[in-house]
């Protein structure tokens, strides 16, 4: 017998049904023709992925280094613009 290839949508449907808890997992797995072990493996992967998505990627100081770099670059561009404007005004004489 060939193994079934589950789509991402099917896996998500099974995992969300498990998490809702409206039907016992054993009954759900029998209805969907998936092993209980496989269903729990998908659930664990789903939860692990959700945990990773909630990890705060900012530095320990609570500041995002990209935001800091973006602010610094904007300040630099502003300063350079002022210098260029001054050179145009005073250099043209």
pTM of the model: 0.55
Domain boundaries of the chain, sorted by first residue: 1-55, 59-93
* 39-62 pLDDT tens trace: 999 999 998 888 676 666 655 566
Convert the pLDDT of each residue in 6-45 to its tens digit: 898 899 999 999 999 999 999 999 999 999 999 999 999 9
Q: Which residues, at least 6 apart from 40, have a Cβ–Cβ distance to it below 8 Å?
A: 18, 25
Cβ–Cβ < 8 Å for 18, 43: yes
What number of CA atoms fall less than 13 Å from residue 3's CA on the CB side? 5
Whose CA is closest to 16, among 38, 47, 37?
A: 47
pLDDT band, very low/low/confident/very high, at 67 (cuts 50, 70, 90): confident
- Average pLDDT on 1-6 reads 82
Rg (CA), the chain: 28
What is the per-residue pLDDT for 62? 65
Q: Looking at residues 84-93, what average pLDDT do you find? A: 77
């Amino acid at each position: 017998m060939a193994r079934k290839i589950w789509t991402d949508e099917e896996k998500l449907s099974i995992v969300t049904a498990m998490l809702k808890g409206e039907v016992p997992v054993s009954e759900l797995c029998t209805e969907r023709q998936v092993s209980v072990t496989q269903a729990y493996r998908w659930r664990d992967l789903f939860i692990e992925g959700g945990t990773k998505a909630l990890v705060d990627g900012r530095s320990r100081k609570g500041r995002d280094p990209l935001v800091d770099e973006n602010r610094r670059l904007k300040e630099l561009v502003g300063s350079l613009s002022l210098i260029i404007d001054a050179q145009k005004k005073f250099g043209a004489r």
